[in-house]
Structure 1
């Protein structure tokens, strides 16, 4: 096992757990509130449900390494949307009234890495689909 594989494992688990926790939070705080917040941003409310489910289920799947490339692509899409629609105006580090987009950008970059390097010997994908290793 290479050090880079261990690094990718750590990155995948961290990103997966981070999204899983954010998804759980959306449901615990009232998914209707999340849908309402999306609507206040000019985004259809049902997208709040979609994002919460992607974060919850995708976070779990990414943590175990199943569907890594697809989940990473969805997470990247969510982070780009969050940066452009919510955080960009506050700047990289924030404006004193709200957080900046540095964490969202870090999550997006991690997702890009996992999308490009989705196969790892330390994932469920590699155990279930060994012939599709790239």
Structure 2
């Protein structure tokens, strides 16, 4: 029997995964060169734009599928900390970093608790127990 906690974690995992996937895909689709330039303007090496965009696309897919939820969520938390402290903090809360802060909190929650409902990780764990 699935409890409300697991359903809530599933909702958070799916929304976080979809959100990061869309943002990562947009970085590539709209021209990664623009993101590289933005990173350089912040004093961040441009190659980091490729790392972040790839993390967001692949990590988003992984979360939707329920693969490595705790690890991916931890990486997303660091991604959001970087975004807040390098690019968004000066703009203040409203219109600044409130969105990144919400993603950070969801990421931390999933990193601490995981999400097993409708997750490939859970299927893999069950198959190991059956073997």
Is the TM-score greater than 0.5?
yes
- Native 8 Å contact 1:5 1:122 kept in 2: no
Superposed, 1:62-73 pairs within 5 Å as 62-73=63-74
- State the partner residue of 2:14: 13
Question: What is the rounded CA distance, in whole Å, between the counterparts of 1:29 and 1:121 in structure 2?
Answer: 34
Alignment partner of 2:117: what SS?
A: coil
Larger RCO, structure (CA 8 Å, separation 6 or more): 2
Question: What is the rounded CA distance, in whole Å, between the counterparts of 1:107 and 1:119 in structure 2?
Answer: 16
Q: Deviations over 1:47-90 (max 9, x none)?
A: 00000000000000011110101100110000000000011111
Question: What is the rounded CA distance, in whole Å, between the counterparts of 1:125 and 1:87 in structure 2?
Answer: 34
Q: CA RMSD in A?
A: 1.3
Large movers: runs of 4+ above 6 Å:
none
- State the partner residue of 1:105: 101
Aligned length: 127
In structure 2, list runs of 5 or more residues that go unmatched.
none
TM-score (norm 2): 0.92
Superposed, 1:65-104 pairs within 5 Å as 65-93=66-94, 99-104=95-100
Structure number with higher helix proportion: 2
In structure 1, list runs of 5 or more residues that go unmatched.
94-98
